[in-house]
Amino acid sequence: MPSTLISAVGHYVPENVVTNNDLVQKMDTTDEWIVQRTGIKERRFFTEGKDTVSLMGANAARMAIERAGINVSDIEMIVFATLSPDYNFPGSGVLLQRELDLPGIPCIDVRAQCSGFIYGLSIADQYIKTGAYKTILLVGAEIQSNVMEISDRGRGMAVIFGDGAGAAVLQATNEEGRGVLSTHLHADGAYAEKLMTEHPGSRRKERITPAMIEDGSMLPYMDGPFVFKNAVVRFPEVINEALTHNNLTKEDIDLLIPHQANLRISQAVQERFGLSDDKVFNNIQKYGNTTAASIPLALSEAWEQGRVKQGNLVCLAAFGAGFTWASALVRW
């Protein structure tokens, strides 16, 4: 049975850098508060008319495709993870397909928020292992800056989230022991409302009303401390599940790439596993929390910095809205 090799990764971030001090001008917050609570120093905000989720995904994809040394036409399927699609429908997968000029190939859109990239990896892995496809493009991309309110009212969310994109070329390999060793996916809808954007949704006759705009209920909502407490439990749990499944131990991990939710969450997970700094990669300081884009964006930068080498055991882990959480172990 073939396994799934991550042949190459790529990323794209909008050019507009927004520092903590830029936010301080617009809301009641401080650089110290943001750095201390989240580790974030700056993030990117998209440029209207230039960046869209599908175009940012395409930029990241082109980088991954070039690094993989394949032709765009080799791609047989697209899996697109995002919570911020260009349109309510159709999903951004078909827009990326159109942009890459790949008519006819299937496009799957994944709605698993921060766990979207690992959920997408798991989906692609099944198609590759069964021999259905040999080359799949997996993308995670988000534009979140325009759904947050850059104001006192919106500060709880606005300081954390950013825009960006990452992509991976996944290819079938028969090389023994290489590729995706496992994926483990979980969800618990009991907490769906702990991190959500309620409006506009299909539950009400009127999807958008002036009142929703006025009272801020169109903005994303997060019970931050509750999400935080669950994240620091689920991350270690799902990483341990992956290690046990593969008869591996924490000492075998060469690089852990946690979803970049909050630097304090990553550090808590690092501490829990006793991993040294060279075994954990974080770039939330520069980009904030980019939801489904965060893992491929981190993976791509880690690879550029020579932190991911052939033969390394790479552990990916995520937790986010849904709640959803997931892990993947990859022999690079």
Which residues are near ligand UT7 by CB under 6 A? 29, 33, 37-38, 114, 155-156, 159-160, 195, 224-225, 227-228, 231, 261-262, 265, 289, 319-320
Tell me which of 107, 114, 184, 262 is the catalytic residue: 114
Active site residue 199: no
CA nearest to 243, candidates 118, 329, 157, 128: 329
Active site residue 107: no
Active site residue 186: no
Of 65 and 114, nearer to ligand UT7 (C-beta) is: 114
Cα end-to-end distance, the chain, whole Å: 18
Of 68 and 160, nearer to ligand UT7 (C-beta) is: 160
Q: How far is the CB of 113 from ligand UT7 (least distance, A)?
A: 7
Q: How far is the CB of 221 from ligand UT7 (least distance, A)?
A: 11
Of 169 and 261, nearer to ligand UT7 (C-beta) is: 261
How would DSSP label each residue in 11-48? EE--SEEEEHHHHHTTSS--HHHHHHHH---EEEE--T
Q: How far is the CB of 94 from ligand UT7 (least distance, A)?
A: 26
> From residue 252, how far is each of 175, 235, 256, 260, 331 by CA, in Å?
20, 17, 11, 22, 11
Q: What is the Cα–Cα distance from 31 to 43, expressed in whole angstroms?
A: 13
Which DSSP letter does residue 281 get?
-
> From residue 14, how far is each of 19, 25, 158, 276 by CA, in Å?
14, 21, 17, 31
Tell me which of 259, 262, 282, 315 is the catalytic residue: 259
Of 100 and 157, nearer to ligand UT7 (C-beta) is: 157
Q: How far is the CB of 56 from ligand UT7 (least distance, A)?
A: 18
Q: Which residues are catalytic?
A: 114, 259, 289
